[in-house]
Amino acid sequence: MTVDLNADAGESYGAFTYGQDEAVFPWVTSANLACGFHGGSPSRIREAVRLAKAYGVAVGAHPGFPDLVGFGRREMALSPEEVYADVLYQIGALYAFLRAEGLPLHHVKPHGALYLKACKDRETARAIALAVKAFDPGLPLVVLPGTVYEEEARKAGLRVVLEAFPERAYLRSGQLAPRSLPGSWITDPKEAARRAVRMVLEGKVEALDGGEVAVRAETLCIHGDNPNAPEVARVVREALEAQGVEVRAF
């Protein structure tokens, strides 16, 4: 059994530092790097790429909505053409730093509200998939399983990588529990680790509204902007490896 551990990174912007890339990178196997729209200024992207290189972390592009002040967390009514162009632009911008460092572009994962919109809006999902395909048809796209986003990524012929969230509660329906629900957020690193192990070894986890829910996971997301993100990443990784799971980039 193998699984990837991913975290968002490279979100610092000029003098504004965000997240704890250096403390998280020893424990994750892939990183989604901001590309300048919701975070990630050129110099800080470069810094994050070099840090990822030093830690052997595989680097993906993390395109977001053009909303720096909202950190890409606010849904925007972009046309599919605008989504396509914004995603393509951001992939290229990040790619340049990887190319300069002799690293491959490992994957694409949309950020924040763009990711969430793709899960429910087919046109947005298709636009993202087509932008990835236009840049490189062999580039893997990280998706939430069971969504129109997964469907459109597959229709585009992309390699799809299924993502699960050990720090987030799931509903029986398979959906992530809304953050407004009590218990929707798992803050204890050991509990997150226990869930991560179940997801990978058993392909399921307890649902917040009772019973169990099937969870397909090729990559597990660690939320890099939590203050205890480095500890969560470490405890999850150690628990997986203690169970014989190989943690490595997909």
- Give the binding site for its own copies (CB under 8 A): 13-18, 36, 39, 41-43, 45-46, 66-71, 73-78, 81-82, 84-86, 88-97, 99-100, 113, 131, 134-136
DSSP state letter for 158: P
CB 247, min distance to its own copies, A:
29
* Structure tokens, 241: 């490896």
- Smallest gap from Cβ 75 to its own copies, in A, equals 4
Nearer Cβ to its own copies, position 77 or 210?
A: 77
Q: Which residues contact 210 (CB under 8 A, 6 or more apart)?
A: 172
Q: Which is nearer to its own copies, 23 or 68 (CB)?
A: 68
- By beta-carbon proximity to its own copies, the closer residue of 113 and 142 is 113
Residues contacting 39, CB < 8 A, separation 6+: 10, 11, 12, 13, 18, 64, 68, 71, 72
Q: Please state, in angstroms and as integers, the Cα–Cα distance from residue 128 to each residue in 70, 99, 146, following that order.
A: 20, 22, 17
- In the complex, least distance from residue 45 CB atom to its own copies, rounded to whole angstroms: 7
Amino acid at 241: E
As beta bridge partners, residue 207 has: 170
Closer CB to its own copies, residue 68 or residue 245? 68
- We find the least distance from the C-beta atom of residue 62 to its own copies, in angstroms, to be 15
Token reading at 51 = 């840090």
User: Nearest approach, Cβ of 94 to its own copies (angstroms)?
Assistant: 7
- Tokens linked to 31: 């990183």
Nearer to its own copies, 85 or 201 (CB): 85
